[in-house]
Amino acid sequence: MTTSESASSPAAAPSTPSAAGTPSGRRLRVAVVGAGPAGFYTVEALVKQKERPASVDLFERLPAPYGLVRYGVAPDHQKIKSVTVAYDKLGARPDVRYFGNVSIGHGAISVEDLFDHYDHVVFTVGCETDRRLGIPGEDLEGSHAATSFVAWYNGHPDFADYRADLRTERAAIVGIGDVAMDLSRLLVRPYADLRRTDMANAALAAFAESRVREIVVLARRGPAQAAFAAKELEDIVELPGVHVSVDREHVRADLAACEADHQTPHHGLLKRKLEFLAHLAEKEPKPGDKRVVLRFFASPVRLHGEAGRVTGIEIERNQLVTDERGRTSARGTGVFETLPVGLVFRSVGYRGVPIPGLPFDDGAGIVPNADGRVLRNGHPWPNVYVAGWIKRGPSGVIGTNKSDAAHTVQKMLEDAPALDGTPEKSGEGIVDVLRERGIHFVTYPDWKALDAIEVERGKASGKVREKLVRVPEMLGALGPR
Ligand code: NAP
């Protein structure tokens, strides 16, 4: 049965929670595609709701679950990764099945296949690629998308053959969000701190040889518009032998404006961040300090290179313009300058990738939706949903996905009465399809076996874990099936 057929099935009376608050009515069989935070929080919201029973299958194109918690969170932020304890509890539930190493839409299983076997399908695939700057020189050697660099040092299988040469004194990072803070911190952090983390070995070798002593973080707008969270900058400031430099006049001007205008959104938070920047602006570097320079009102216009490698970044000084709705943007002043650098990271955000069989909003880089209901030709496509970054774009922290997923699940439950009266779906059909098509899927117990292998391998080299970075290596470690 296709999704549109199931949607046209006769609707019965809506099911309501039983008096005891236990789920009642027709069981929902749901596929969740993408086992990152948004995927796990969707599973959680589905199995913990009290309106109707639900069985959930969680699909992931890689063998390992956790998405950006495994492949995005910085290796020196291990505490953040402890959210996986809660994900593992979900993975162990009898009403939740995990199918790792199963690519939907791009591989042997199509989106339509899922519609045949599930009542509802939720895509929680995140934003898998980078945004580009669109300036000359962007593809020179030594110019990296932060998204690729991050995936590489975190041992993402798609980046197992990626390389980055850090043997240069000065690097530029374009963009001033939390990813830019992660990169800055890792690049100035003592190697001794990194070698015990779960950073992939190839990346560790590059960091061991790093000669980076200065990082210029380029923000196209001013301190008041900077996207990073103050805590992330604090983590850099606290590192020994590191000086963070900020233009005093820029920060003072924004702080004064903030103090004068209590109507600014998140006024208290912004004021504290600007006060912290103002405090940093008064500090002097000590001899021998590595430097992280926050450079405001500067946009890259071109990367310069020699023999195919980056040698400099040309920037244009900006001024801020505010439109009639109060939104600020950067406008070039025609004043240019070239900074000599041997590395450039563009850290200007993530972007969603289209899934064959699903609509895609190319401008926004997300799946078009209304409150999580996927829109096809501008109308809700029955029984097809999104949650997380592919729904709202690449914003917020891991926890933001919890309320986001719960919101989508609420919409699914509102739509579920349309399924009452239709036959319940069996959970076995999809397993037969996977087997028939020769797909070596990874179950949750399989993943926990891989997890144990990685932790054991890490012990041998004094690391918290040694990730398996290639898919055949992971499948091979599970033995013959
Ligand atoms: P982000 O927060 O959206 O920051 C992107 C930055 O790139 C902004 O400074 C933006 O400036 C700038 N930018 C965009 N296009 C540009 C262009 N063409 N030229 C110059 N600059 C440009 O993105 P992110 O750093 O990738 O982070 C993604 C999400 O993950 C965020 O929600 C972040 O909080 C989260 N995250 C959290 C953590 C953590 O909590 N530890 C760590 C990493 C990431 P404008 O503001 O002017 O657009």
**Mean pLDDT (whole number) for 163-167:** 98
What spacing in Å lies between the alpha carbon of 380 and ligand 1's midpoint?
A: 30
Which range, of 63-77, 263-277, 365-379, 439-453, averages the lowest pLDDT? 263-277
Residues shown for the chain: 481
Specify the ligand 1 atom closest to the Cα of 131. 15
- What digits encode the pLDDT tens for the residues 131-155? 999 999 999 999 999 999 999 999 9
Tell me if 347 CB under 6 Å of ligand 1. yes
- Model pLDDT, residue 21: 63
Which range, of 14-18, 296-300, 390-394, averages the lowest pLDDT? 14-18
- Model pLDDT, residue 2: 34
Q: In whole angstroms, how far apart are CA 235 and each of 79, 229, 251, 348, 412?
A: 13, 10, 20, 21, 40
Q: Which of 129, 149, 179 for mutating ligand 1's site (highest number of atoms within 8 Å of CB)? A: 179
- Model pLDDT, residue 163: 96
- What digits encode the pLDDT tens for the residues 319-344? 999 998 888 999 999 999 999 999 99
Tell me if 180 CB under 6 Å of ligand 1. yes
What spacing in Å lies between the alpha carbon of 99 and ligand 1's midpoint?
A: 32
Asked if 27 and 53 count as a contact pair (C-beta separation under 8 A), the reply is yes
**Mean pLDDT (whole number) for 106-130:** 94
Confidence category of residue 28, pLDDT binned at 50, 70, 90 = very high
- Model pLDDT, residue 333: 97
Higher pLDDT, 48 or 18: 48
Confidence category of residue 50, pLDDT binned at 50, 70, 90 = very high
- What digits encode the pLDDT tens for the residues 222-281? 999 999 999 999 999 999 999 999 999 999 999 999 898 877 778 889 999 999 999 999
What percentage of the chain carries pLDDT values higher than 70? Answer: 95
What spacing in Å lies between the alpha carbon of 167 and ligand 1's midpoint?
A: 26
pLDDT at 89 over 80: yes
Asked if 35 and 66 count as a contact pair (C-beta separation under 8 A), the reply is yes
- Model pLDDT, residue 22: 67
- Model pLDDT, residue 325: 86
Q: In whole angstroms, how far apart are CA 438 and each of 107, 117, 174?
A: 12, 18, 44
- What digits encode the pLDDT tens for the residues 182-232? 999 999 999 999 999 999 999 999 999 999 999 999 999 999 999 999 999
CA 163 to chain centroid, in Å, comes to 21
Tell me if 113 CB under 6 Å of ligand 1. no
- What digits encode the pLDDT tens for the residues 397-423? 999 999 999 999 999 999 999 999 899
What spacing in Å lies between the alpha carbon of 396 and ligand 1's midpoint?
A: 10
Tell me if residue 296 falls in helix, strand or coil: coil
User: CA-CA distance, 189 to 267, in Å (whole number)?
Assistant: 32
**What are the backbone dihedrals phi and psi of residue 42, each rounded to the nearest 5 degrees, phi first?**
-70, -45
E strand residue ranges, 175-234: 214-218
Tell me if residue 291 falls in helix, strand or coil: strand
Confidence category of residue 434, pLDDT binned at 50, 70, 90 = very high
Kindly report the protein residue whose alpha carbon is nearest to atom 2 of ligand 1: 177
What spacing in Å lies between the alpha carbon of 173 and ligand 1's midpoint?
A: 11
**Contacts (Cβ under 8 Å, ≥6 apart) of 105:** 111, 355, 356, 357, 358
**What are the backbone dihedrals phi and psi of residue 337, each rounded to the nearest 5 degrees, phi first?**
-155, 145
- Which residue in 135, 177, 147, 155 sits closest to 351, CA to CA? 147
Q: Which of 144, 178, 182, 301 for mutating ligand 1's site (highest number of atoms within 8 Å of CB)? A: 178
Sign of CA dihedral 124, 132, 309, 221: negative
User: CA-CA distance, 409 to 127, in Å (whole number)?
Assistant: 20
Tell me if 103 CB under 6 Å of ligand 1. no
- Which residue in 381, 423, 432, 433 sits closest to 27, CA to CA? 423
pLDDT at 11 over 90: no
